[in-house]
Amino acid sequence: MKYIIKILFAAVVIMVAVGYYFKNTGDHPTGDKWVGLGILGASFILMPIFIYHRWKNKKVKDYMLTEENLKKMRDYGKKKGDLKH
């Protein structure tokens, strides 16, 4: 999965670079198309795959502010002396 993400990232960077190359040589419509395709690929293909890859084995409950997690944070802060209660 990480190799697919790296390949897609390289493809997006190359597409945007080619687009700016065309824009610098004076062919603005073609350059805009390449840059737009690169940004669309990054937004709708690369980003969702990256997010899925990073979150696939995580428990969302660990990152939510539940009463239990707030209590853990308070206890940790008191133990460290960061919070003055």
pLDDT at site 79: 77
| CA 1 to each of CA 49, 53, 56, 75: distance values in angstroms, whole numbers, following the listed order | 9, 7, 12, 38
pLDDT at site 81: 65
pLDDT digits (tens, 9 = 90+) for 3-40: 999 999 999 999 999 999 999 999 999 999 999 999 99
What CA–CA distance (Å, rounded) separates 34 from 19?
A: 5
Q: How confident is the model at residue 82 (pLDDT cuts 50, 70, 90)?
A: low
Angle separating helix axes 2-25 and 28-41, nearest 10 degrees: 160
Calculate mean pLDDT across residues 32-56.
96
pTM: 0.70
